């Protein structure tokens, strides 16, 4: 089994927040489509059933979304009609890129949400928010 | 302990919140920011930057 790799939650004091604000668990990743690379960060979200990317990231790759199958994404504030696509996802420092099924949606505050299908199929994740650390490792030996 | 993510949150200002950012590869500088990702990707080479988004700490996020 691969070793756990540690990442930190980024926390800072904010007067406007009236206390300590900690960012979401983000890791450096690259998305790849047809030889183009988009270096970015993904938020690990165990409450998300599938990995999501923003429409403007799909536009960067020139993905013609209107030709893709539809998928409805339901969140706490409502639902949005997205499009299903397959892209290559590279988690930096964790081996080779792998194919990921993603939903492309417009209203996403982050570039990428790493969801159960198929980030959590590929990686084990340990959250230790109280210690300001989280850990990931490849699930496959 | 090896840390695989770097912190640039001390560079964030209110003007960045809710926008796309182009960050230097070593996370030491915010090279640019925009509502429009296309504007950033046309201004900076992918090899030299990381594109990400600045969350607004005043907002509660529940995806």
Number of structural domains chain A divides into:
1
**Does residue B21 fall inside a structural domain?**
yes
DSSP states of B32-59 as a string? EEES-HHHHHHHS-GGGEEEEEPPPTTS
Q: Tell which A residues from 62 to 81 touch B, by Cβ distance under 8 Å.
A: 75-77
Record the pTM.
0.92
Q: Using the beta-carbon criterion (under 8 Å), do A27 and B57 form an inter-chain contact?
A: no
**Does residue B2 fall inside a structural domain?**
no
- A17: domain CATH number is 2.40.70.10
- Domain encompassing residue B32: 13-53
Q: CA–CA separation, B53 vs B19, rounded Å?
A: 6
**Does residue B32 fall inside a structural domain?**
yes
**Does residue B38 fall inside a structural domain?**
yes
- Domain encompassing residue A48: 5-138
A14-44 pLDDT per residue, tens: 766 667 777 899 999 999 999 999 999 999 9
Strand order from edge to edge, sheet including A123-128: A5-8, A133-138, A123-128
Q: In this predicted complex, what is the ipTM?
A: 0.92
Number of structural domains chain B divides into:
1
**Does residue B28 fall inside a structural domain?**
yes
Interface residues of B toward A, Cβ cutoff 8 Å, are 1-5, 7, 9-10, 18, 20, 25, 36-38, 41, 46, 49-53, 55, 57-59, 61-63
């Amino acid at each position: 089994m691969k070793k756990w790799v540690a990442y930190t939650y980024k926390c800072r004091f904010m007067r406007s927040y009236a206390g300590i604000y900690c960012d979401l668990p983000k890791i450096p990743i690259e998305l790849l489509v047809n030889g183009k690379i988009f270096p970015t960060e993904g938020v690990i979200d165990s409450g998300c059933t599938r990995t999501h990317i923003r429409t403007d990231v799909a536009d960067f790759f020139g993905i013609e979304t209107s030709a893709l199958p539809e998928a409805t994404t339901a969140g706490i504030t409502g639902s949005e009609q997205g499009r299903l696509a397959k892209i290559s996802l590279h988690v930096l420092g964790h081996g080779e890129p792998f194919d990921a099924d993603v939903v492309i949606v417009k209203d996403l505050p982050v570039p990428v949400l790493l969801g159960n299908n198929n980030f959590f199929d590929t990686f084990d994740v340990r959250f230790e928010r109280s210690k300001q650390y989280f850990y990931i490792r490849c699930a496959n030996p | 302990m090896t840390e695989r993510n770097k912190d640039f949150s001390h560079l964030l200002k209110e003007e960045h919140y809710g926008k796309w950012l182009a960050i230097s590869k070593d996370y030491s500088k915010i090279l640019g920011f925009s509502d429009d990702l296309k504007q950033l990707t046309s201004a900076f080479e992918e090899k030299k930057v990381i594109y990400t988004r600045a969350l607004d700490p005043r907002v509660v996020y529940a995806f």
